[in-house]
A = this chain, B = another copy of it.
Amino acid sequence: MSKFTEELVRLGSIVEQEMVKFLPQKDEYPPQLFEAMLYSALSGGKRLRPIMVMKAAELFGMPYDKVMPTACGIEMIHTYSLIHDDLPVMDNDDFRRGKPTCHKVYGEALALLAGDALLTHAFATIAKNSKIEGISYEAVLDVIENISLAAGGHGMIGGQVIDIATSGKHISKDTLYYISSHKTGCMISVSLWSGARLAGASRDELEKIKLFGEKIGLAFQIVDDMLDETGDENILGKPVGSDVKNMKNTFVSMFGYDGCVKLLSELSSDAKEIMADFENGDFFIQLTDFIVNRSY
């Protein structure tokens, strides 16, 4: 394992521990709801979004432990989106991260409600960030508004709507970019933005970190599409080929595998160029390489 991957694992396990603190416990009432929420929220994953919140705060001189409520809130929103995406009425997926999906274990009604509850609980969790010393109320309110917009109809959900509406249909490149930048890019971008905003980054710095997020967010989605065609099911923890099965438009179907490699190279060099403006941007340079080269 490279030193960078070790760091990701270390940070990921910090996220896991903090998530446990911010989520309801299994013995609270109603237990079946909290069991379903915890099943999905604590089932591993790379925790890239909360790690981005943490490291973006550090980039602007704030220790990551000051932004953990926001980091965990964003991961709750990510988890809810996966639970709802996996439902039969959406992508109808049976496995995620090597385990049966939430509705396969708890039924569709409880999975729907567990997703709703995670999304709802995320905002109470993020609001709690205002109680940490050194964090301004105004910054937390900005973060809540921006996360809500990034996760909502003009962001992640908008991307999901068009993704579903265009399955099996011929779409333009613009539409493919719209889907990816919204479905995946918005939440990655707002994760970086939120960490930076809480740490007191300037307007100019916030714009830059957001743009960096858009580049690596798009790269992340392209690699996702490539892994769905050529990845190793045992490493991915889910069946490959679901995009073809669901007749999804992907970067691979639009640009071919080699076209994707070329796009990734451009996005990676753009992202690194943006990050070159920051001192101590090493982690994000390595993160860019990790996202482009990942096999899971």
Contacts and interface: CB of A to CB of B under 8 A. Distances in A.
A109 B124 contact: no
Name A's interface SS. Answer: helix
A200 to B, nearest CB: 16
Contacts of A116: 80, 84, 115-116, 119, 157
Given A127-B145, A130-B141, A120 B151 contact: yes
6 contacts: A33-B153, A109-B164, A110-B161, A119-B120, A124-B148, A141-B141
Contacts of A161: 30, 32-33, 110, 113
Contact of A158 (B33, B153, B154, B165): B33
Interface of A: 24, 28-30, 32-34, 37, 80, 84, 87, 89-90, 108-110, 112-113, 115-117, 119-124, 127-128, 130, 137-138, 140-142, 144-145, 148-149, 151-154, 157-158, 160-162, 164-165, 178
A28 B80 CA distance: 25
Contacts of A138: 130, 137
A158 B89 contact: no
Contact of A124 (B121, B144, B160, B165): B144
A101 to B, nearest CB: 14
Contacts of A24: 153-154
A144 B123 contact: yes
Nearest to A128: B145
B137 A112 contact: no
A90 B117 contact: no
A153 B84 contact: no
Contacts of A157: 33, 113, 116-117, 120
A164 B108 CA distance: 12
Contact of A145 (B32, B124, B165, B178): B124
Nearest to A165: B32
Contacts of A162: 30
Task: Give the interface centre of A29, A34, A123, A144 by most chain B CB atoms within 10 Å.
Answer: A123
Contacts of A117: 152-153, 157
Given A33-B157, A121-B148, 19 more contacts: A32-B161, A33-B161, A89-B108, A89-B112, A113-B160, A117-B157, A119-B120, A120-B148, A120-B151, A120-B157, A123-B123, A123-B144, A124-B144, A124-B145, A127-B142, A130-B138, A130-B141, A137-B138, A140-B141
